[in-house]
């Protein structure tokens, strides 16, 4: 859930050793497997089918709150805790199957735990009663904070003869639902039973606690100290000093024994990366450029828990660059990363802390992100790794991280501006505005394309990372280990991957093969599709009678927003005047406005919103990957219009049926601009002959 972060206040934090809540020296990577309204992509059955693919890169998968909330919901209006697990994402059986499958593949499932507040039934203060293992659990009106909803709950309770808690909220108030009094023994009993159910019955590995600023951190500490999840991360949406303070204060809970009990999301890490990318100022990634360690007090944009010099706190930083609250949603900006998604992820995955990748980024760039994770894990970067800044300028950032197996240099921004010393570093991965370099002492072969399923043929670069110069590489494609007699190539050689194979590459040094890496590539049907040839489509909208008409489009899972600079997008009509961005066509006496777009790959599907200069507007329409004719339809309660597909009435197929010539009752001519007449135009004409039997034949003439 979204909460505003407050101004930064520097505080001194104690070093608390032997802490719980998140493993030390942890090298895993987490996936947030949902975004806002991801009811299709985050279904339990859909995610379970991806288990093998996800297991190659991710150790933890965080999923939405999984119980029924009274209707379609992302789970933040939680209603049931023990029963009724038929949620917007699937049934209880499907949930259990997914968690079990993930576990068998080495993936831990993280539950989204919403216990700051809870939804009621029937009236303002009544919660459902649920029986689990013979015990009935129910929160009572007296479990609601006295100052809930700014005092409105207390007023309602008094007017209706109800009693609520005598205790005020121990954190921030939120009026959306009833804030729970965590001082209440009954609340604690219900929460502890609920968390135990999630861990030991459903099989979750750990928790993501929602809106933890809504109640004192010591209660998270007490809950975790009691039920002992392997992983716990809190959404403390605030400045770094507040986040670190919350982490420290989880040690104050009953049974915590002065040991930290939870990690937290590193919001300032996210803001730092977002601001650097959105502003094209990569110097924002570090306050210094002399290789010294940035501290929270001198980091730009408020610093970051992951940047804290004290490893005891860096251990508890779960880093990220986008989530369901900050992403771009349709035409609503929220707080998004707007550009350089790949460069931002490259930085995220090269840094200490436990990185959490956003589902939309994974969907759009899974092969690139998987390759980054391959590098991270090969280097052995963990949540307590050390790092430094080599150069931080507006044009580019260059920094290093030391893992258990060597060091990685990450570069973002203008990657042509400079190159690390080739005597010490070898480039292994590159893309738009990012590069990775490995320390030559790592002594390993490398392939820049990650294992996985591909749809199209691609090229893979084979690289030798070695302190020995001019090392030859040897490789096989049948899964056997390469030998000195296997195919030999020089470092930097690019090979074509067109069919299923297990590629193994090693370095040939002094007659011995060393540093072998393996990649498994599969294609649908066993081989790649032919290279994609881009093609154009036209999106037609029947004149809605608006003085202004704008097209806003985007490609799902991509940074490409059809080159729009800002909402509402391309103006087609401005005060009734046709703009350069659009074209007009008349078909069957109906006027259509249209634009041409290029489909760039097999999975390129374009979404649209049409508006009258922003308001009113349509709902999200699409995706489209071929010509379509649309007519605005019903206006919804929220003021947005739906649209119906009228391609069969006005599209090419509707006028292209060629029939044998029968008695002609009328003839029409259509020129290339779509004008219709009963006499030929100069130039190219489509001739429509209307026959007595109702059929239409078409021919093409040049007049």
Identify any residues that bridge with 162 across adjacent strands, giving them in sequence order.
none
Quick one: average pLDDT of 491-512? 97
168-180 residue pLDDT tens: 999 999 888 999 9
Query: What is the percent of the chain with per-residue pLDDT over 70, rounded to a whole number?
Result: 87
- Winning range, highest mean pLDDT, from 277-286, 509-518, 573-582: 509-518
HSE-CB at 268 with a 13 A cutoff on CA atoms is: 28
85-111 residue pLDDT tens: 999 999 999 999 999 999 999 999 999
pLDDT given at position 2: 39
In sequence order, which residues have a C-beta less than 8 Å from that of residue 496 and are 6 or more positions away? 457, 458, 459
pLDDT given at position 681: 74
Return the percent helix, strand and coil in the chain, to nearest 5.
Answer: 20, 30, 45
Looking at the predicted structure, is the pLDDT value of residue 385 above 80? yes
pLDDT given at position 700: 63
CA 686, CA 285: separation in Å to the nearest integer? 60
Question: What six digits make up the tokens of 430?
Answer: 């590159």
647-685 residue pLDDT tens: 999 987 554 433 333 466 677 777 766 677 777 777 767
CA 206, CA 204: separation in Å to the nearest integer? 6
CA 184 from centroid of its chain's CA atoms: 37
Are the C-beta atoms of 673 and 656 separated by less than 8 Å? Answer: no
Identify any residues that bridge with 702 across adjacent strands, giving them in sequence order.
684
CATH 1.10.3470 given to domain 535-651: no
* CB neighbour class for 461 (10 Å; exposed up to 12, middle 13-18, buried from 19): middle
Give the confidence band of 249 by pLDDT, cuts at 50, 70, 90: very high
Quick one: average pLDDT of 246-260? 95
Could you give the angle at which helices 217-227 and 240-249 cross, rounded to 10 degrees? 50
Lowest mean pLDDT among 251-260, 413-422, 633-642: 633-642
Are the C-beta atoms of 191 and 185 separated by less than 8 Å? Answer: no
Domain boundaries, the chain: 30-111+183-379, 386-526, 535-651, 655-702
Quick one: average pLDDT of 458-473? 97
Looking at the predicted structure, is the pLDDT value of residue 281 above 50? yes
Identify any residues that bridge with 551 across adjacent strands, giving them in sequence order.
570, 610
Give the confidence band of 128 by pLDDT, cuts at 50, 70, 90: very high
pLDDT given at position 96: 98
Lowest mean pLDDT among 152-161, 347-356, 546-555: 546-555
Angstrom distances, CA of residue 427 to CA of 315, 393, 424, 463, 465: 28, 21, 10, 8, 9
* CB neighbour class for 385 (10 Å; exposed up to 12, middle 13-18, buried from 19): buried
Taking Cα atoms as reference points, which of 612, 645, 643 lies closest to residue 627?
645
Which stretch of DSSP H or E encloses residue 32?
Answer: strand 30-32
Instruction: State if pTM tops 0.85.
Output: no
CA 548, CA 614: separation in Å to the nearest integer? 9
Average per-residue pLDDT for the chain = 88
Question: What six digits make up the tokens of 167?
Answer: 């205790």
Give the confidence band of 442 by pLDDT, cuts at 50, 70, 90: very high
In sequence order, which residues have a C-beta less than 8 Å from that of residue 197 and are 6 or more positions away? 81, 82, 132
Which residues of 217-262 form beta strands (DSSP E)? Answer: 231-234
Question: What six digits make up the tokens of 477?
Answer: 């494609």
pLDDT given at position 73: 94
CA 25, CA 431: separation in Å to the nearest integer? 29
Looking at the predicted structure, is the pLDDT value of residue 373 above 90? yes
Give the confidence band of 701 by pLDDT, cuts at 50, 70, 90: low
Looking at the predicted structure, is the pLDDT value of residue 485 above 80? yes
Angle, alpha carbons 67-210-95 (nearest 5°): 30
pLDDT given at position 692: 56
At which residue do the structure tokens 């100022």 appear?
A: 281
pLDDT given at position 623: 82
Helices (H), 480-610: none
Question: What six digits make up the tokens of 356?
Answer: 């959490």
pLDDT given at position 545: 93
Are the C-beta atoms of 148 and 178 separated by less than 8 Å? Answer: yes
N-term to C-term CA, the chain: 65
pLDDT given at position 531: 75
Lowest mean pLDDT among 39-48, 226-235, 620-629: 620-629
Give the confidence band of 601 by pLDDT, cuts at 50, 70, 90: confident
Number of other CB atoms surrounding residue 648 within 10 Å: 9
Which stretch of DSSP H or E encloses residue 585?
Answer: strand 583-587
CA 480, CA 274: separation in Å to the nearest integer? 44
Looking at the predicted structure, is the pLDDT value of residue 703 above 90? no
Give the confidence band of 413 by pLDDT, cuts at 50, 70, 90: very high
CA 148 from centroid of its chain's CA atoms: 33
Q: Which residue has the higher pLDDT, 338 or 451?
A: 451
CA 446, CA 427: separation in Å to the nearest integer? 10
Are the C-beta atoms of 624 and 608 separated by less than 8 Å? Answer: yes
Question: What six digits make up the tokens of 517?
Answer: 């890496």
pLDDT given at position 529: 79
Question: Using CA atoms in the order 676, 679, 681, 687, what is the torsion angle rounded to 10 degrees?
Answer: 70
Number of other CB atoms surrounding residue 701 within 10 Å: 12
Give the confidence band of 381 by pLDDT, cuts at 50, 70, 90: very high
Looking at the predicted structure, is the pLDDT value of residue 690 above 80? no
Q: Which CATH architecture has domain 30-111+183-379?
A: Alpha-Beta Barrel (3.20)
CA 270, CA 363: separation in Å to the nearest integer? 20
Are the C-beta atoms of 576 and 587 separated by less than 8 Å? Answer: no
Lowest mean pLDDT among 69-73, 134-138, 601-605: 601-605
16-44 residue pLDDT tens: 334 478 999 999 999 999 999 999 999 99
**Pairing verdict, β 676-677 and 684-691:** unpaired
pLDDT given at position 306: 61
SS3 180: strand
Which stretch of DSSP H or E encloses residue 103?
Answer: helix 92-104
Give the confidence band of 7 by pLDDT, cuts at 50, 70, 90: very low
pLDDT given at position 49: 96
Give the confidence band of 311 by pLDDT, cuts at 50, 70, 90: low
CA 546, CA 573: separation in Å to the nearest integer? 8
CA 511 from centroid of its chain's CA atoms: 46
Same fold, 30-111+183-379 and 535-651: no
pLDDT given at position 668: 75
Give the confidence band of 11 by pLDDT, cuts at 50, 70, 90: very low
């Amino acid at each position: 859930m979204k909460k505003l972060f407050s101004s930064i206040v520097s505080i001194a934090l104690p070093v608390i050793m032997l802490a719980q809540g998140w493993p030390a020296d942890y090298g895993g990577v987490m996936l947030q497997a949902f975004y806002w309204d991801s009811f299709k992509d985050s279904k339990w059955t859909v995610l379970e089918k991806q288990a093998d693919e996800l297991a190659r890169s991710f150790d933890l998968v965080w999923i939405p709150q999984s119980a029924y909330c009274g209707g379609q919901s992302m789970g933040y209006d939680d209603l049931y805790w023990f029963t009724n697990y038929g949620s917007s994402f699937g049934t209880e059986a499907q949930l259990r199957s997914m968690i079990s499958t993930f576990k068998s593949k080495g993936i831990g499932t993280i539950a989204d735990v919403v216990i700051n507040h809870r939804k009621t039934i029937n009236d303002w203060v009544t919660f459902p009663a649920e029986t689990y293992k013979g015990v009935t659990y129910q929160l009572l009106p007296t479990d609601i904070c006295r100052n809930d909803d700014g005092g409105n709950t207390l007023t309602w309770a008094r007017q209706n003869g109800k009693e609520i808690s005598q205790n005020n909220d121990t954190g921030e108030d939120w009026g959306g639902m009833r804030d729970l009094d965590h001082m209440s023994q009954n609340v604690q009993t219900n929460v502890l039973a609920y968390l135990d159910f999630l861990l030991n019955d459903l099989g979750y590995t750990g928790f993501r606690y929602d809106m933890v600023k809504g109640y004192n951190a010591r209660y998270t500490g007490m809950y975790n100290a009691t039920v002992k999840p392997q992983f716990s991360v809190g959404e403390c949406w605030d400045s770094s000093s507040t986040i670190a303070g919350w982490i420290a204060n989880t040690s104050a809970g009953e049974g915590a024994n002065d040991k930290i009990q939870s990690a937290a999301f590193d919001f300032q890490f996210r803001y730092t990366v977002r601001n650097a990318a959105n502003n094209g100022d990569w110097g924002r990634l570090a306050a210094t450029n002399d290789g010294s360690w940035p501290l929270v007090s001198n980091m730009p944009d408020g610093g970051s828990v992951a940047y804290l010099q004290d490893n005891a706190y860096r251990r508890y930083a779960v880093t990220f660059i986008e989530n369901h609250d900050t992403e771009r949603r349709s035409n609503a900006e929220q707080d998004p990363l707007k550009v350089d998604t790949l460069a931002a992820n490259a930085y995220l995955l090269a840094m200490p802390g436990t990185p959490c990748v956003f589902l939309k980024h994974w969907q759009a760039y899974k092969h690139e992100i998987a390759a980054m994770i391959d590098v991270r894990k090969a280097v052995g970067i963990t949540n307590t790794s050390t790092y430094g800044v080599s150069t931080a300028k507006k044009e580019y950032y260059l920094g290093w991280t030391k893992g258990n197996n060597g060091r990685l240099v990450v570069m973002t921004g203008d990657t042509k501006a400079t190159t690390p010393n080739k005597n010490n570093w070898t480039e292994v991965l590159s893309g738009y505005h990012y590069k990775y370099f490995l320390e030559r002492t790592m002594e390993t072969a490398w392939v820049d394309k990650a294992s996985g399923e591909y749809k199209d043929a691609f090229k893979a670069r084979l690289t030798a990372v070695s302190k020995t110069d001019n090392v030859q590489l040897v490789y096989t494609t049948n899964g056997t280990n390469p030998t000195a007699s296997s195919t030999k190539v020089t470092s930097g050689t690019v090979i074509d991957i067109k069919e299923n194979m297990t590629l193994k590459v090693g370095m040939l040094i002094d007659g011995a093969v060393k540093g072998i890496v393996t990649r498994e590539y599969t294609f649908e049907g066993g081989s790649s599709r032919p290279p994609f040839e881009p093609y154009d489509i036209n999106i037609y909208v029947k004149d809605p009678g608006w003085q202004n008409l704008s097209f806003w489009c985007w490609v799902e899972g991509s940074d490409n927003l059809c080159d729009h600079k800002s909402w509402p997008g391309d103006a087609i009509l401005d005060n009734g005047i046709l703009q350069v961005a659009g074209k007009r066509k008349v078909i069957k006496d109906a006027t259509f406005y249209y634009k041409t777009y290029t489909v760039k790959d097999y999975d390129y599907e374009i979404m649209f919103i049409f508006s009258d200069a922003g308001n009113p507007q349509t709902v999200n329409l699409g995706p489209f990957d071929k010509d379509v004719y649309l007519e605005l339809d019903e206006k919804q309660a929220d003021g947005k219009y739906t649209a119906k597909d009228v391609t069969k009435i006005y599209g090419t197929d509707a006028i292209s049926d060629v029939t044998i010539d029968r008695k002609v009752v009328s003839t029409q001519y259509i020129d290339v601009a779509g004008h219709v007449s009963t006499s030929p135009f100069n130039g190219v004409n489509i001739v429509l002959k209307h026959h007595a039997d109702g059929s239409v034949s078409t021919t093409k003439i040049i007049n």
